[in-house]
Amino acid sequence: MHNTGATAAVIIRGAKSSWSLEPRELWQHRELLYFLAWRDIKVRYKQTVLGLAWVVIQPLAIALSLSLFLGRLVKGSSEGLPYPLFAYSAMVIWQLFANAFTDSSNSLLANERLITKVYFPRLLVPLSAVLASLLDFSISLLVLALFLGYYRITPTLAIAILPLVVLLAVLIALGVGLWLAALNVKYRDVRYTIGFLAQFWFLATPIAYPTSVVPDRWRVWYGLNPLVGVVEGFRWALRGAGAAPLSLLAVSACVAVAILMSGLYYFRRTEDTFADFI
């Protein structure tokens, strides 16, 4: 139990006095964050025959079909990686991003009853969805390690930036998720946009093809998609050869910060009305 001797008064009023993340309150609710993520993970593959295997099947199946249909077209330009590995490694990090952002975008609606009946920092909801997607990721990462072994690729020092790239993917997903989750409460159109957005984003990211196929004059605009840097960085960390895509990563990081900060701001500004609109 908390110390009850000197409880600070909680002030409730209409307008938010200042915009802050209230990290103390978030920290106090860290257990709830854990429980929400744990629930999402527990529930996700209940009553499925294949269970956790789905985590691996999805990216593998897509990587396989890409290899079958597109592998020939980009032959020789898959950045020195065998095409199946080229596609699968990108799929692993892409799936982390896609799951994290779609789940967090839908998270508030999925927890409608909680939002309207219980108080806790609303930020925990999309945050827990992102957290839950990390488990899937770590499993498909293990499979990726097996792949690397099969193709006899030994990681170099470059692997050290892997956690940073993953963090970048997670932050972008969280930023987008915060925006869409908050918008989703008010505008149900968003729900229909998410799937489309994910597909579009998939095509605009060098997963099935290398960045080199993008014409030079488009490269700058293309690089503004923060996932380009993430996927290139992820592949480079595994491959360890060639030049590091530093400028792409830098652009990604800047875009990520912009999305995340604006997402946090919008989310915090609108969260007081979630219970009224959901």
Partner 1 sequence: MVAISCEGIGKRYRIGREERYRTLRDALTEFARAPFRRGASLWRSPASASDPKPELWALKDLCLEVKHGEVLGIIGRNGAGKSTLLKILSRITKPTEGRAEIRGRVGSLLEVGAGVHPELTGRENIYLNGSILGMTRREIDRRFDEIVEFSECGRLLDTPMKHYSSGMYVRLAFAVAAHLETEILFVDEVLSVGDVAFQDKCLGRMKQAAGGGRTVLFVSHNLLAIQALCQRALWLDRGRVIAEGRSAAVISDYLSHVRTSTTEVFYEDPTKAPGNNVVRLRRASVRPLSESNSGSITVRTPLLIEFELWNRKVDLRFDYGFNLYNEYGILVFNTGTVDCRSYPAGLIRASGQIPGDLLNAGVHRIELLVSQNENELILVCPDLLTFEVGDSLSLRGCFYGEWPGAVRPNICWTTEVLG
User: What is the DSSP code (8-state) at residue 120?
Assistant: S
Residue 96 CB, nearest distance to partner 1 (Å)?
24
Residue 196 CB, nearest distance to partner 1 (Å)?
14
Residue 104 CB, nearest distance to partner 1 (Å)?
18
Residue 32 CB, nearest distance to partner 1 (Å)?
5
| 117 vs 152, beta carbon nearer partner 1 | 117
| 51 vs 80, beta carbon nearer partner 1 | 51
| 187 vs 200, beta carbon nearer partner 1 | 187
- The closest of 212, 223, 234 to 168, measured between CA atoms, is 234
| 198 vs 275, beta carbon nearer partner 1 | 275
Q: Under the rule (CB under 8 A), what is the footprint of partner 1?
A: 1-2, 4, 7, 9-14, 31-32, 35, 38-39, 42-43, 46-47, 111, 113-120, 185-190, 272-273, 275-278
| 4 vs 18, beta carbon nearer partner 1 | 4
- The closest of 171, 148, 166 to 240, measured between CA atoms, is 148
Count of CA atoms in the C-beta half-sphere (13 A) of 238 = 29
| 37 vs 165, beta carbon nearer partner 1 | 37
Interhelix angle 246-270/226-239, rounded to 10 degrees, is 130
Neighbours of 124 (CB within 10 A): 23
Residue 90 CB, nearest distance to partner 1 (Å)?
32
Q: How far apart are CA 224 and CA 110, in angstroms?
A: 31
SS3 assignment, position 15: coil
Give Dmax over CA atoms of the chain in angstroms: 71
Cα 187–chain centre separation: 22
Residue 115 CB, nearest distance to partner 1 (Å)?
8
- Give, for 29, the enclosing helix (H) or strand (E): none
